[in-house]
Amino acid sequence: MKLLSTARSGIAALALVAGTIPAAAAFPERLITVIVPFAAGGPGDTVVRIVGEHMARTLGQPIVVENVTGAGGTIGITRGLQAKPDGYTIMVGQMGTHGAAPAQYPNLKYDPAKDFAPIGLMAATPIVIVARKDFPANNLQEFVDHVKRNQDKVVEAHAGVGSVSHTTCTLLQSIMGTKTTRVAYRGTGPTLNDLVAGQVDFGCDQIVNVAPQIQAGTIKAFGIATAERSAAMKDVPTTSEGGLPQFVVSAWIALFAPKGTPQHVVGKLNDALVKALDDEGIRTRLLDLGSEIPDLAGRTPDALQGLVVREVARWTPILSTAGQ
Ligand code: MLT
């Protein structure tokens, strides 16, 4: 009987392994939902729609964007991490939701470094100080002077406490020593609409969101917060050139799955991401918007995990002392 039971367990084991192999090879068998935790038309939405288009082709299944907004992106992320960890629900996380949020939300329902299966980084996105096109300043120094003199009247627009736009303009206002009115939107897609309409005065936004409007002249750019000028906007000076060298800051946009998503599923999603970032057409679209595309080493799940750990450690002390 022992032999038979051994034989049976052997066959069972073989079947199990065999059963697993088709499952691994089969993913994905249906459409994938990607939660964008901000309103449509913002940087996160824009980047994932570009990259996701190519990923869908590689994976052979549609990738559908679901915008779940509020609380600086933390509502959408909380929804995403509670999804079944099967790879069919993933989410866009970024420097706000996975870097600044712990310092801004003491009761945050997740730990960016523990509650996710990182898939990979899609793009780094330098920050630009932007303003309505008739803002009464012609350069960064005049912008700073005007905001200082009129901080009781000037209005900054952002995508909610803890978002990239809020976090980086908290740093900017801390450097300027100002405390203006700050208005929260559900993403910097809507923020940009009101900036173009002249309803608000300024903001700190990711280059991928504002590049087209700057190039069209419908908003003003006073400085890009990087060491070098952007190839996508050569005539926009750096913040250092404009006399604000302390304001050098970039954001980033990535893909995450819920913790517990099987390794082979994460691997397939990462492989599709890597292929998308190597595609000339996708690269051109991302680079034309001023984003920086991670190299191969920067696209791994481990690289993203390391970035999250570093970003939480970086922003927590800054935001704890910024006093906004
Ligand atoms: C942010 O400020 O975090 C983003 O720009 C929000 C968005 O993607 O709309």
* 48 CA from centroid of ligand 1 (Å): 13
Q: Where does residue 249 fall: left (phi above 0), alpha (psi -120 to 50 degrees), or beta otherwise?
A: beta
Q: What is the rounded distance in angstroms from the CA atom of residue 165 to the CA atom of residue 176? A: 16
Q: For the segment 228-276, what is each residue's pLDDT rounded down to a tens digit?
A: 999 999 999 999 999 999 999 999 999 999 999 999 999 999 999 999 9
Identify the band that residue 22 occupies on the pLDDT scale cut at 50, 70 and 90: low
* 41 CA from centroid of ligand 1 (Å): 9
Across all residues in the chain, what is the average pLDDT?
Answer: 93
**Greatest pairwise CA separation for the chain in angstroms:** 91
Q: What's the confidence (pLDDT) of residue 153?
A: 97
Residues 6+ apart with CB under 8 A from 94: 43, 44, 73, 164, 251, 252, 253, 254
* 140 CA from centroid of ligand 1 (Å): 23
In this model, does residue 5 exceed pLDDT 50? no
Cα 149 from chain centroid (whole Å): 33
Q: For the segment 34-79, what is each residue's pLDDT rounded down to a tens digit?
A: 999 999 999 999 999 999 999 999 999 999 999 999 999 999 999 9
Q: What's the confidence (pLDDT) of residue 3?
A: 39
User: Does the Cβ of 43 fall within 6 Å of ligand 1?
Assistant: yes
Domains 31-124+252-322 and 126-224 share a fold: yes
What single string gives the DSSP state of each residue in 181-200? EEEE-SSHHHHHHHHHTTSS
* 96 CA from centroid of ligand 1 (Å): 8
Identify the band that residue 322 occupies on the pLDDT scale cut at 50, 70 and 90: confident
Q: What is the rounded distance in angstroms from the CA atom of residue 34 to the CA atom of residue 48? A: 8
In this structure, which topology does domain 31-124+252-322 adopt according to CATH?
D-Maltodextrin-Binding Protein; domain 2 (3.40.190)
Contact 105, 111 (CB under 8 A): no
Cα 101 from chain centroid (whole Å): 12
Q: For the segment 86-97, what is each residue's pLDDT rounded down to a tens digit?
A: 999 999 999 999
User: Does the Cβ of 38 fall within 6 Å of ligand 1?
Assistant: yes
* 38 CA from centroid of ligand 1 (Å): 6
| Token digits of residue 253 | 């946009």
Cα Rg of the chain, angstroms: 22
Closest CA to 284 of 274, 295, 293: 293
| Token digits of residue 290 | 């001023």
16-20, 174-178, 208-212, 226-230: lowest mean pLDDT where?
Answer: 16-20
Q: What is the rounded distance in angstroms from the CA atom of residue 283 to the CA atom of residue 291? A: 9
Q: For the segment 180-233, what is each residue's pLDDT rounded down to a tens digit?
A: 999 999 999 999 999 999 999 999 999 999 999 999 999 999 999 999 999 999
Q: Is the sign of the CA dihedral 257, 61, 265, 51 positive or negative?
A: negative
Identify the band that residue 11 occupies on the pLDDT scale cut at 50, 70 and 90: low
User: Does the Cβ of 99 fall within 6 Å of ligand 1?
Assistant: no
User: What pTM was estimated for this model as a whole?
Assistant: 0.92
Identify the band that residue 321 occupies on the pLDDT scale cut at 50, 70 and 90: confident
Identify the band that residue 2 occupies on the pLDDT scale cut at 50, 70 and 90: very low
Contact 205, 43 (CB under 8 A): yes
Protein residue with its CA nearest to atom 5 in ligand 1: 188
Place of tokens 């073989």: 14
**Has domain 126-224 been given CATH number 1.10.287.3510?**
no
Q: What's the confidence (pLDDT) of residue 17?
A: 52
* 149 CA from centroid of ligand 1 (Å): 28
What value does the mean pLDDT take over residues 17-41? 82
User: Does the Cβ of 101 fall within 6 Å of ligand 1?
Assistant: no
Sequence spans of domains, the chain: 31-124+252-322, 126-224
Q: For the segment 284-311, what is each residue's pLDDT rounded down to a tens digit?
A: 999 999 999 999 999 999 999 999 999 9
User: Does the Cβ of 189 fall within 6 Å of ligand 1?
Assistant: yes
